[in-house]
Structure 1
Amino acid sequence: MMKLEETEYPNVVYVEVDGKVTQEDAEKSEAFIKEHYGDEEKLNAMVYLKRIEGGDVGAILKGSLVDVKHWGQYGRFALVANPAWIQGGAAVADVMPGIEVRQFDKAQMEEAWQWLQQ
């Protein structure tokens, strides 16, 4: 399941992944981004990986959140998770060229928010 929410910070969306991400989740994220940010407004994302099932981080981000139609809108993704889940951080950055991806441990959530606002 994937949840998207607007945040108190301008142009920063909060994404929470808890379990398996489905096609329905991908469709909902597309509709959410289009409704709240249109097709051109710049956007950063706080991606909190609470629990992952059935896929790697790169596949989840690329298939469920980062739609090719909106690629040019994205600036930064703060990826917050258990360090064991994001060991392949270089691979995540490789599937998301042009988007700055930085990894944070769950204890660094505040630091991640600050980085997104820069």
Structure 2
Amino acid sequence: MIRIKNVEKSNLISASISGKITKEDIEKIHPLIHNIVKNGNKVNFFFELVNFKGYDLKGLWEDLKVDTAHISDYGKMAFVGEKEWQEWAAKATDFFTSSEVKYFDFTEKEEAKRWILNQ
């Protein structure tokens, strides 16, 4: 499940992610990406991973389609998590994108916020 959080920065999508990501979750984020891009901005992401279990099959497929369509529209990505495999996933994301991607442990959440908000 993806729960979108309100933020003051117009080019930032902030969300808490738990359980498995579904196609419907990705469909909530896609219009937000379009709104940022149509204003000529790169999209930054701040994701808190709490009891995150990955994707269901349709969610993974939808995320891959959205990422493929928008990969050049992404700016910075901050992942705040609790497990070593989440750090590996963030590093894999960094490898496949031109975005600046960083993983932070929950103890570093405030540092992650400072990093994503400073352009």
TM-score range (shorter-chain normalised) is 0.7 to 0.9
Note the C-alpha offset of 1:83.
3.6
CA RMSD between the two structures: 2.6
Count of matched residue pairs: 112
Note the C-alpha offset of 1:66.
5.3
| Distance in 1 separating the partners of 2:33 and 2:102 | 21
Q: Is 2:88 aligned against 1:92?
A: no
Q: Is 2:37–2:43's contact at 8 Å kept on the other side of the alignment? A: no
TM-score, normalised to structure 1, is: 0.77
Query: Where has structure 1 moved over 4 Å in runs of 4 or more?
Result: none
Q: Is 1:7–1:13's contact at 8 Å kept on the other side of the alignment? A: yes
Equivalent residue runs for 1:1-118 within 5 Å: 1-34=1-34, 36-39=35-38, 40-55=40-55, 63=63, 67-88=67-88, 89-95=90-96, 97-116=97-116, 117-118=118-119
Q: Is 1:43–1:74's contact at 8 Å kept on the other side of the alignment? A: yes
Amino acid at match of 2:93: V
TM-score, normalised to structure 2, is: 0.77
- Higher share in helix: 2
